[in-house]
Amino acid sequence: MTQQPTDERTRIREAIDRLLAGQATASNGSLTVVALAAEAGVHRMALMKRHADLKNEFYERVRNETRQVPEPEKRLRETVTKLKKTIANQKAEIEDLRQQVTRLALASAVLTHKIDNQEETAPISDNVIAFPHSKS
């Protein structure tokens, strides 16, 4: 490793310790990757890409030492809950639409049957000639 990444890793580890101790000096003190990057003085993407192991270590320590769920995990859990609710609503709506289609198909069949019966029993006027029609 070169000096710069080693120095970054040291700064990140020190920043993790400060954030977990509640002694932030360069960030808002939240237990997020953004705050960690600011606290360590490194670009957030450098933390995410080059030092993913330290990011994971940070979240693991947040979970174990503070008994808190990391912010990204909270947001994901909220999103999953919303999506599950959306899926349940859509399933209910689909079932309702299926039942409505069935009812409409039955109503259409009844009406078609009534119209066919009315045509067969309709009286023919003396001046009207009925043309035979084929039923298919």
Q: Which residues contact 59 (CB under 8 A, 6 or more apart)?
A: 70, 72, 73
Residue where a domain terminates, one of 26, 45, 68: 68
Flag whether 117 is in a domain. Answer: no
Contact 8, 51 (CB under 8 A): yes
Please check whether residues 8 and 64 belong to one and the same domain.
yes
Statement to judge: residues 29 and 78 lie in one domain: no
* Nearest residue to 11 (alpha-carbon basis) of 37, 48, 30: 37
Quick one: 49 and 75 in the same domain? no
Residues 30 and 50 in one domain: yes
Instruction: Enter the pTM of the model.
Output: 0.53
Full domain range(s) for residue 75: 71-100
User: In sequence order, what DSSP letters do the residues of 49-91 get, joined into one string?
Assistant: HTTHHHHHHHHHHHHHHH----HHHHHHHHHHHHHHHHHHHHH
Model confidence pLDDT, tens digit, residues 67-108:
887 778 888 899 999 999 999 999 999 999 999 999 999 999
What's the pLDDT tens digit per position in 11-41? 999 999 999 999 999 999 888 899 999 999 9
Do the domain assignments include residue 9?
yes
**Same-domain status, 77 and 42:** no
